Amino acid sequence: MPQKIVLSIEEVRVIAELRETPTAEAILRMLPLSGETQRWGGEIYFPVPASLPLETDSRESLLPGELGYWPEGKMFCIFFGATPASEGDEIRPASAVNVFGRLIGRWSPIKQIPAGKTIRVEALTEDTTIETTEPVESQDKPAEDCMYSPTAFTGEPKPEPQTETVTPSATEETPKSYSPTPLPESGLFESRPEELESEPAVELSGEETAPAGEDIFEATEIDEGMTPTTPKAKSFIDTAISFTRMRGVRLLAAGIVILLLIVLISRFFTDPFKSELADLRRELGEQKKTLDTLNQTIPKLQTDLKAAGDSTRGQVNQQFSAFKTQIDAQLSAMRKQLSEGGQGQGVWVKNPTNHHSYCVSPVPLPWHQARDMAKKMGGYLATLTDAKENEWVVATFGEQTEYWIGLDDELEERKWIWTSGEKFEYANWAPGEPDNYRKNQHYVVINSIVPDKGNLEPGRWKDISCNEIHLAIIERNQ
């Protein structure tokens, strides 16, 4: 059974269900956790004392209510809406997160939590009590005796209303309609003629005829020796009347209570289902939008991947062609040097402008070895002091091959020195050069070639590593 946790922020408490992942197990071991909430659009997050790696099934697009761990910031994240990184209605974190759980039940109140609140996360146990976090829509504080009273469904009996019975005193006058004409003790059941003419008839059965419009009640048996005009009789009669009236009030109150119970039960069982159904429909709509977004993204990714593959193949073919051209040119120059110079010696060509002689080294070498070979041949790596000399070298020895020349900043970065000792005043750098790429480029070639970009810069210079192998242009002063 999946492990559940409780997230508490002030009065709001919601439940989350954890997945079976390493991140979920690590979070569970750290419980209880607490921190100060931060907001990033539709995301609440807070730091946790853990440094967990990014899992293989991490995602950059989430569903409403999912919980995630952000490895870059070491954050516990709750996602429920669009963030500043989202496009449209998608839920997108700053970067990939480990999804380790989701909120369950009714968790909509958490959307209203602002930043700066204290959140506490703990494991859900059998002893944990979750109070309802949804407010009553009709009233904030139910009245004590209304149908929203907290005791309406507790099953506790309500106290019966207390009706005070008032016993009239002996001197209190009894209404005429309820008291028969008093008779002397000697003639308790005898009527005098003059009284019969003015008083209503009273039957010996105990029933009394009252004037029209007065209450009619049922007489009870009169104890022996009690006359209707005694205080005891009056008290009995008043009690009977009060009881009859109270019985009617009770029936009316019972009817009202039953009606209120029916209305309350109907509302109690209907409203939650409507709200749950609305939440489910809303979540289903959000998930459908997310699915539609994924369906639109997948074909685009496939197209981009195919285009990237085609571009990569084209770049590889272009680089291969450039390298092949360079190697062919070097081999051609080597064959020419070997066939014309004999015994590994280069053919010297005199520059009519400065009357110096130049040749190409018999074999390609690293920069230091080429410098040493130039010394053995009675010269030095070429020193190009002006544009005319630079153009003459390219025109004489070709523009398809990169040649070592005698310029370096080996001793101090950006302080260029000619191996011949001449002062450095002229330069013909290619665009973006010198760049000292990877901090190890301190030696210069002429005819800059950039194979991966297909760039050929005849007569332009660039700095490279001394370990690369190139032919060298050697110069001597005669």
Q: Where are the domains of the chain?
A: 4-123, 349-476
**433 touches 461 (CB < 8 A):** yes
pLDDT of the residue at 273: 67
- CA dihedral sign of residues 328, 330, 331, 337: positive
**413 touches 436 (CB < 8 A):** yes
Q: Strand, coil or helix: what is 45?
A: strand
Contacts by 145-151 with C-beta closer than 8 Å and gap 24+? 147/260, 147/261, 147/263, 147/264, 148/264
Residue 244: pLDDT over 90:
no
Confidence of residue 330 (pLDDT cuts 50, 70, 90): low
Tokens 């003790």 belong to residue: 185
pLDDT of the residue at 193: 45
Q: Are strands 417-418 and 66-70 parallel, antiparallel or unpaired?
A: unpaired
Residues in a beta bridge with 353: none
Confidence of residue 427 (pLDDT cuts 50, 70, 90): very high
Residues in a beta bridge with 38: 45
Q: Quote the CA–CA distance of 65 and 49 in Å, as a whole number.
A: 23
Give the range among 101-115, 164-178, 378-392, 455-469 with minimum mean pLDDT.
Answer: 164-178
The identity of residue 442, as a single letter, is H
Q: What is the pLDDT of residues 370-420, one digit of tens each?
A: 999 999 999 999 999 999 999 999 999 998 899 999 999 999 999 999 999
Rank 114-118, 154-158, 160-164 by mean pLDDT and report only the highest.
114-118
**104 touches 75 (CB < 8 A):** no
Confidence of residue 215 (pLDDT cuts 50, 70, 90): very low
Q: What is the C-alpha R_g of the chain?
A: 54
Q: Would you give the DSSP letter of residue 152? A: T
Tokens 């080996």 belong to residue: 410
Confidence of residue 288 (pLDDT cuts 50, 70, 90): confident
Mean pLDDT of 453-476: 89
Give the range among 148-152, 224-228, 430-434 with minimum mean pLDDT.
Answer: 148-152
Q: What percent of the chain has a predicted confidence (pLDDT) above 70? A: 71
- A 10 A CB-CB count for 418 gives 19
Residue 326: pLDDT over 90:
no
Q: Quote the CA–CA distance of 110 and 444 in Å, as a whole number.
A: 65
The token pair at 220 is 């009870």
Residue 343: pLDDT over 90:
no
Instruction: Tell me which of 472 and 340 has the higher pLDDT.
Output: 472
pLDDT of the residue at 183: 43
Residues in a beta bridge with 471: 403
Does the domain formed by 4-123 have CATH 3.40.50.970? Answer: no
Residue 225: pLDDT over 90:
no
The token pair at 188 is 């308790």
* The residue count for the chain: 478
Looking at every residue in the chain, the average pLDDT score rounds to 78
Q: Are strands 471-476 and 357-360 parallel, antiparallel or unpaired?
A: antiparallel
Instruction: Tell me which of 16 and 294 has the higher pLDDT.
Output: 16
Q: Quote the CA–CA distance of 433 and 290 in Å, as a whole number.
A: 49
CATH of 349-476, one of 3.10.100.10, 3.40.50.2300, 3.40.190.10, 3.30.1600.10: 3.10.100.10
Q: Quote the CA–CA distance of 89 and 291 in Å, as a whole number.
A: 11
Residue 421: pLDDT over 80:
yes
